[in-house]
Amino acid sequence: MSEKPNILFIMTDDQAKWTLGAEGHPNAFTPELDKLASEGARFDNFFANAAVCSPSRATQISGRYASEAGIDPHGDVTHIRSDADYGLKTGITTWPQVLQDGGYTTVLVGKWHLGRAKEEYSPLARGYDRFSGWMQNGNYSRDPFILVEGEEKTFEGEYTSDVTADLAMDYMKELKDETWAMSLHFWAPHANHGVPDNFELPYNDRTWLPLKDEDLAPWRAMDLTVPNPEFPNLDIERIDRMAREYHASVHSVDRNIGRIMRFLEETGLDKNTVVIFTSDQGYNMAHHGLWHKGNGWWITKDKKDPEGIYTDRTRENLFDSSIRTPGIIRWPGVIEPKTVVSEDVSFVDWFPTILEMTGITAPEGTPLRGRSFVPLLRGEKMERENTVFSQHRTLRSCRCGGWKLILDFGELKRHELYNVREDPFEKQNLIHLTENPLIKPIAESLDCRIRRTMEEINDPLLK
């Protein structure tokens, strides 16, 4: 057996932390992920440094903030659109590249979404030896269209999460005698961009259908709990339908995590494989009257902001519900079962953590914004500042010491301040109290931290 562990980095798309049964949410049912958490460490406070797909993925793979990594062509940090002519900035080092140079065989299965306009943006140019998946989006939950080792293939009649897991296990069989690192990026539970040709949708709206009956079944008779039920003018009927489909899509991933873990155990690979599970960012399902993520849409009956502050159908945001992600790591022989990590960590910490797990050093001069949290996994204390800096479009935020400040550099200039320790659902914006002698030093400190980080990374919003 190799001295270096295999790395299986599983990342879902748009999966909120509150979808895990282990978190105690009444609507959640994820037995396989709960089992994985019981065998390793579960994080209470894991945060993405961006609130939509591409910038979050850029940070995860590079250890740099999204605007540094080139996901910022027009001064706003948002996802790479299908017609974009840019991608993850060339010259930015990724952790798959460092592992590849250190002797690992590296594989990406699933979603990339970090550029496709030029060859230098492809995953094969950014540290992966093998790739089967989507350069942009998965689109459908059934009949997926997948680029398999450069060959375009449609899996007619098959479900996307099942096919994604099958491809991953096929690679593991093939690489059983090698030391490998695999990024397994599920499309689920992202809402579909349309439906397969042979499927008729019973309504005109975004959907997660079609899904397997075994994934839909647990929520058919469940009396769902709605977060923020007092929010004005909520479209309860729509929320109920969407939430059931969303949780069923999560279950399609959970079920396949079970398949993969049983495969690892049957092949003996479980003993020397670090299994990591997270999502690219959080998600809203009626939280703050929204559905979706940092580019949230109103889920009110008229699809508008009841207060009339936000006149577009979107509510750009950096709420915790949009950036807080699941975090689970199973590392046999290192992490004690049922470990819970309460310290704040974020996506900039993935790169240095994975390097410490593998014993590989980054090239000299590689700038990394985060720190390895391996000591926390070993149950050790770390002298680290629990500060999380995040970006989304014209918003920048700092979460530290139980408080969170969001600065709006756009036209609205609508800044937000939350005491997240006492108000974890961020319902009371305290920005109007910044002259209060008890709150003023807190707000000033957070403001200073945001601007200092922006200066360090040459954030374009400073201009």
Tell me the pLDDT tens digit for each residue of 223-262. Answer: 999 998 999 999 999 999 999 999 999 999 999 999 999 9
Cβ burial, residue 353 (10 Å; 0-12/13-18/19+): buried
What angle do the packed helices 350-358 and 53-62 form, to 10 degrees? 40
**Confidence at 204, pLDDT banded by 50, 70, 90:** very high
d(CA 115, CA 214): 35
Render pLDDT for 260-302 as a digit per residue (tens, 0 to 9). 999 999 999 999 999 999 999 999 999 999 999 999 999 999 9
Domain 394-463 in this protein, CATH class: alpha beta
Domain spans of the chain? Answer: 6-383, 394-463
With pLDDT > 70 as the criterion, what percentage of the chain qualifies?
99
What angle do the packed helices 31-38 and 236-267 form, to 10 degrees? 50
For domain 6-383, the CATH superfamily is Alkaline Phosphatase, subunit A (3.40.720.10)
Which residues, including other chains, have CB under 8 Å from residue 166's CB and lie 6 or more apart?
none
With pLDDT > 90 as the criterion, what percentage of the chain qualifies?
90
Range 324-336 average pLDDT: 97
| Cut 0.85: pTM above it | yes
Render pLDDT for 298-309 as a digit per residue (tens, 0 to 9). 999 999 999 999
Instruction: Report pLDDT for 163.
Output: 98
Is residue 73 over pLDDT 80? no
Is residue 1 over pLDDT 60? no
Instruction: Report pLDDT for 40.
Output: 98
Alpha carbons within 13 angstroms on the beta-carbon side of residue 8 total 25
Range 29-54 average pLDDT: 97
Instruction: Report pLDDT for 345.
Output: 96
Instruction: Report pLDDT for 74.
Output: 65
Render pLDDT for 143-180 as a digit per residue (tens, 0 to 9). 999 999 999 999 999 999 999 999 999 999 999 999 99
Is residue 316 over pLDDT 80? yes
Instruction: Report pLDDT for 78.
Output: 87
Two structure tokens written together for 380: 């050790």
d(CA 51, CA 77): 9
